[in-house]
Amino acid sequence: MIMDIQEFRSRLANRDITRRDITKVLASVGVGSVAIHYGPNGAMAEEAVDPDLTVFTWSGYDIAELCPDYIEKYQMIPAYALFGEEEEAFQKMRQGFPVDIAAPCTYSLGRWFDGGLLSPIDTTRLEHWDNIFDSLKNLEGSHQDGVNYFLPLDWGNSSVLFRTDLAPEYMGENNSWGILFDEKYANRLGIFDSVDGVFGVVGAYINAENPFDMTDAELEKATELLRQQREVMRFYWTDQ
């Protein structure tokens, strides 16, 4: 059942509506897609996108809640451009796509720097820089010749999502990357189609000394394991 126009307007103004619901309503009146931006306090504002600041980031990070101080000061949100994974972002920027802020993961920093995609950051202009943990300020690859090229935005752990009722043997202390290589679940598995991400996972699984900087012998072992894994995969997903 499609909501009436008054309910649609009210929920849209209050940001109490999903993109899927918006699409359904628009499709019901013959509109295929639309771009909608929100200003401060959730009000619709087609003009409230800053044309002078483009943030190139992951889907899900393009929300006003992540930049309240910016919105309060400039009364607009940045212009967001989205990528599904870092290789896409890397290649697009190398072809000249202009952005002001991008969000690669730390393991990609060396490649992005070597590709000429990064510019120095003046941390003296950052109000909350002193509040960041030193361990995050000094992440490997974030500095080149004493100059800072990277700021930490978020961090967390990678893991495996699975149904515990279907794979109870991997619950609790038995939780392991090994489920992604288990022939028992052949044609029921999926993994991220990313060299950086996948090799880190495999490196951890084979107990490489440094999963992100493996020796030739470790790389050979990891590569062979990935060949074996290919036979039990149902698909490789490409968009985070």
CATH of the domain at 212: 3.40.190.10
pLDDT at residue 36, as a whole number: 40
Beta strand 189-192 with 233-237 is: parallel
Short-list 227, 229, 238, CA closest to 183 = 229
* Whole-number pLDDT of residue 239: 65
Last residue of some domain: 91, 116, 148? 148
Within a domain: 154: no
Is 105 found in the same domain as 177? no
**Residue 21 forms part of a structural domain:** yes
Task: Please check whether residues 108 and 192 belong to one and the same domain.
Answer: no
Query: Per-10-residue mean pLDDT for the chain, 240 residues long?
Result: 60 56 54 41 50 88 89 89 89 94 89 94 92 89 91 82 95 92 95 81 92 92 95 85
Q: The domain containing residue 185 runs over which residues?
A: 168-237
Q: Total structural domains in the chain?
A: 2
CATH code of residue 25: 3.40.190
Quick one: 118 and 217 in the same domain? no
Asked if 129 and 32 sit in the same domain, the reply is yes
In a shared domain, residues 120 and 28: yes
Strand blocks (E) in 49-193:
49-58, 77-83, 101-102, 143-144, 147-148, 189-192
Position 217 scores a pLDDT of 97
| Domain assignment present for 158 | no
The reported pLDDT for the residue numbered 39 is 41
Q: Please tell me whether residues 123 and 11 are part of one structural domain.
A: yes
**Of the candidates 92, 132, 145, the residue with the CA atom closest to the CA atom of residue 115:** 92
Q: What is the pLDDT, as a whole number, of residue 106?
A: 85
Concatenated DSSP letters for 99-112? Answer: -SEE---GGGHHHH
Query: H-type helices in 38-179, by residue range?
Result: 68-74, 86-94, 109-114, 134-137
- Looking at the structure, tell me whether residues 105 and 184 fall in a common domain: no
Looking at the fold, whether 89 and 183 belong to one and the same domain comes out as no
Same domain, 118 and 38: yes
pTM equals 0.61
* pLDDT value, residue 84: 84
pLDDT given at position 182: 96
186 and 130 co-located in one domain: no
User: What are the pLDDT digits (tens) for 89-111?
Assistant: 999 999 999 999 999 988 889 99
Do residues 190 and 110 share a domain?
A: no
What pLDDT sits at residue 45?
42
Bridge partners, residue 81, by sequence: 56
